[in-house]
Chains A and B, each alone.
Chain A
Amino acid sequence: MNNTQISEEERDILQEIMNIAFGQAAAELAEIINIFVVLSIPYIRMIEAVDLPDYIRTEFSEFGNISIVEQNFWGDFKGTALLIFPAGSGKELISLLDDTPPPVAGSQSSDILEKETLMEVGNILIGACVGKVAELLKDVVTYSPPRVIVEDHPDIMMPKTLFDPTNSAIILKTIFCFNERDVHGFLFLITSHKSVAWLKTALADFMKQYE
C-alpha cells in the first residue's frame, strides 16, 4: 500500500470519525443556529483527483444541472471542499436561513440571492464538517470565502489544477436533508498527497486513544 492511498482499515476509521463529526456538527447546528439538518455518510472512498470530473459526471448525470460550492481550507489537513447540489437547490435553501435578506437591486436579484444562499449554506456545512473532522484529529483549519463555481451548467468547468495528479479526492457521499425538505448535497474533499500522508498519521494517532 503506497502512502497516497488509504487502506481499508484507515477508511473504516475515517468513516467512524466522519460519523462522530457529522453527528456532533448536526447537533450543534440545530442547537446553536437552529438549522436542522440530517447528515449521513453512507459511503466513503478515495480516488485520484484526476478521475474526479468523470466520477462527478457519472454520479450526477441524473440530476441534469448542478451547483458546486467550492471552499479552500488550510491546516495540517488542507485542500478544497466541493459541495454539490442539484441546480435550483438554492431556492429551496433560502427559507432555511429564516431571516429576510436585504433586497437586492437589479433584475437578477433572485439569482444573486440563490447563489449567495448556496454560498452561505455551503460555508456553514463545509465549515461544520471539515472543522469537526479536523478537531477530532487535533488540527485547526482556516477557510477561504466560498465560491459558487458552477451554476446551472451541465458541464463540469472547474479549474484544472484541482484535478492535478498529485492530488487525491476523498469522496464522502454525504447526504444533507434539511427540515425534512428533500435537498440532497454531496461533499467531496480534494487534498494533496502530502495531506493524505498527514491524515494517515492522524488516523493512527486517533486510534491509539482506544488501544
Chain B
Amino acid sequence: MNEISQIFEIVNFGLVILDNELNVKHWNQWMARHSGIEADRITGAFLLDFFPELNTPRFLRSCKMVIAFGNFSFFSQKLHHFLFPFKPDGSFKSMFEYMQQNCTLGPLRNDLNAITGIFLIVQDVTELASYEQKLVEMNMKDGLTGIYNRRFFQTRLSEEYERHTRYAGMLSLIMFDIDFFKNVNDNYGHQCGDSVLKSVAAKIGSIIRKTDYLARYGGEEFCCLLPQTDLAAARRLAERFRLHIEALMTPCQGHDINVTISLGVSGLHGEDSEEMLLKRADQALYDAKNSGRNCTVVMP
C-alpha cells in the first residue's frame, strides 16, 4: 500500500471515489466502519444499489454537474442533515436518528484534464449540530419551566402579526399571572415557588394546541399566543386554563400547594400594532386582578 493509499484509510472522514457512471471505485475504512459495508463488497457496484435513498433529483443533479462541468457540489448539514443514513455515535442517539453530515462532491481528472470520476467527502458534524441545536433551544426556552422565553415569544408575536396583517387571519392573546405568588415563596420557600411555576407551565402546555405559543413572560407572568383564534374561542380557552389551575395540586416538601391565576384576553383587529395587542391583554389582566382575582377579563 503506498503512502497516499494509507492516508486514504487513515483519515477521520468518509472518502469515496466513483466513476462517471456512479460505480464505486474506492470506499475508505471510515465509510466501511459507519455503513457496515466492507470495501470489497461495494467496490465495482452501482452506488445507488446500496443506497437507494441517494436516488434524488438533488443528488443526481450534483453528480451530473460534477461530471459535465467539473463543478463542486456541497450538501450542507443545515439543509440536508445527511446524505448517507449512518447511525450517529452513541452519545448523540437520543438527539439525532442519523449522523449529521456535511458532504462535498467534486471531479477527479486524468493527466489530460478529462474528468474520470467523482470524489465524495463525508464529514461527521453531529457534535457541532448538537451544540447548535442546544444553543438554539437555550435561546428559545425558559430554563426553569422549559416553555418558550420572552425573547422567543416577541419574535413569534412579530411573525404572527406580520402573517395576520398579510392574510387577515385572527390572532388572540392570553396573558395570565399566578395570584399571590409571593405568598407561595414566603410560606413554602423558593424551591416550592419554582415547583409551582413548573407545574402551572406544564399543565397549560398540555392544554394548548401545537400551533399555540406559551411563554414565560416575567417572574410569574405567562403569555399564550393563539394564531387563527377569535376572541370568543380565546376566552373559552382562558376559562379552561383557569379551571385547570384551580384544580391543580403541586406537591412540594410534604405540602400540596394550590394556586389560582388571573387572566387577560385580547384580540388583534383593524389598525392594531403588536404593542397594542400586548397592552390590552396586560390591561385586561390588571382588571382581572382588581376584580378579585381567579377570573378572566376580555378586552376586545
Residue positions of A touching B, CB distance < 8 A: 25, 28, 32-33, 97-99, 101-102, 104, 106-107, 112-113, 116, 119-120, 123-124, 127-128, 131-132, 135, 140, 142-143, 145-146
CB of B293 within 8 Å of the partner chain: no
Residue positions of B touching A, CB distance < 8 A: 56-58, 61, 64-65, 68-74, 76, 78-81, 104, 106, 109, 113, 136, 155-156, 159
Q: How far is the CA of A153 from the CA of B69 in the complex (A)?
A: 32
User: Please, which residues of chain B bring their CB within 8 A of the CB of A33?
Assistant: 61, 64-65
> Would you list the 9 A-B pairs with minimal beta carbon distance, nearest first?
A127-B71, A116-B79, A99-B57, A143-B72, A33-B61, A145-B74, A32-B64, A32-B68, A131-B69
Q: How far is the CA of A33 from the CA of B63 in the complex (A)?
A: 10
Given contact pairs A112-B79, A116-B79, A146-B74, A127 touches B69 in the complex (Cβ within 8 A):
yes
Q: Is the CB of A32 within 8 A of B65?
A: yes
The A interface is mostly helix, strand or loop, or mixed, namely helix
Q: Which of A33, A104, A132, A145 has its CB near the most chain B CB atoms (within 10 A)?
A: A33
Q: Is the CB of A102 within 8 A of B76?
A: no
Q: How far is the CA of A25 from the CA of B65 in the complex (A)?
A: 11
17 contacts between A and B (CB under 8 A): A33-B64, A97-B58, A99-B56, A99-B58, A101-B58, A104-B78, A104-B79, A112-B78, A113-B79, A119-B74, A123-B71, A123-B72, A123-B74, A128-B69, A142-B106, A143-B71, A146-B74
Q: Is the CB of A98 within 8 A of B57?
A: yes
User: Please, which residues of chain A bring their CB within 8 A of the CB of B57?
Assistant: 98-99
Q: Is the CB of A107 within 8 A of B74?
A: no
Q: How far is the CA of A131 from the CA of B72 in the complex (A)?
A: 10
Q: How far is the CA of A68 from the CA of B109 in the complex (A)?
A: 31
Q: Is the CB of B68 within 8 A of A28?
A: yes
Q: How far is the CA of A136 from the CA of B251 in the complex (A)?
A: 77
Q: How far is the CB of A161 from chain B (nearest CB, A)?
A: 23
User: Please, which residues of chain B bring their CB within 8 A of the CB of A98?
Assistant: 57
Q: How far is the CB of B125 from chain A (nearest CB, A)?
A: 13
Q: How far is the CA of A125 from the CA of B254 in the complex (A)?
A: 68
Q: How far is the CB of B108 from chain A (nearest CB, A)?
A: 11
Residue among A99, A116, A127, A132 making CB contact with B78, cutoff 8 Å: A116
Q: Is the CB of A140 within 8 A of B113?
A: yes
Q: Is the CB of A128 within 8 A of B71?
A: yes
* Chain B, Cβ-Cβ closest to A99: B57
Q: How far is the CB of B154 from chain A (nearest CB, A)?
A: 12
User: Please, which residues of chain B bring their CB within 8 A of the CB of A112?
Assistant: 78-79
Q: Is the CB of A127 within 8 A of B61?
A: no
Q: How far is the CA of A180 from the CA of B80 in the complex (A)?
A: 28
* Chain A, Cβ-Cβ closest to B106: A142
Contacts A142-B72, A145-B104 aside, 19 further interface pairs with beta carbons under 8 A come to A28-B68, A32-B64, A32-B65, A32-B69, A102-B79, A104-B78, A104-B79, A106-B136, A107-B159, A112-B78, A119-B74, A123-B71, A127-B65, A140-B70, A140-B109, A142-B106, A143-B71, A143-B72, A143-B106
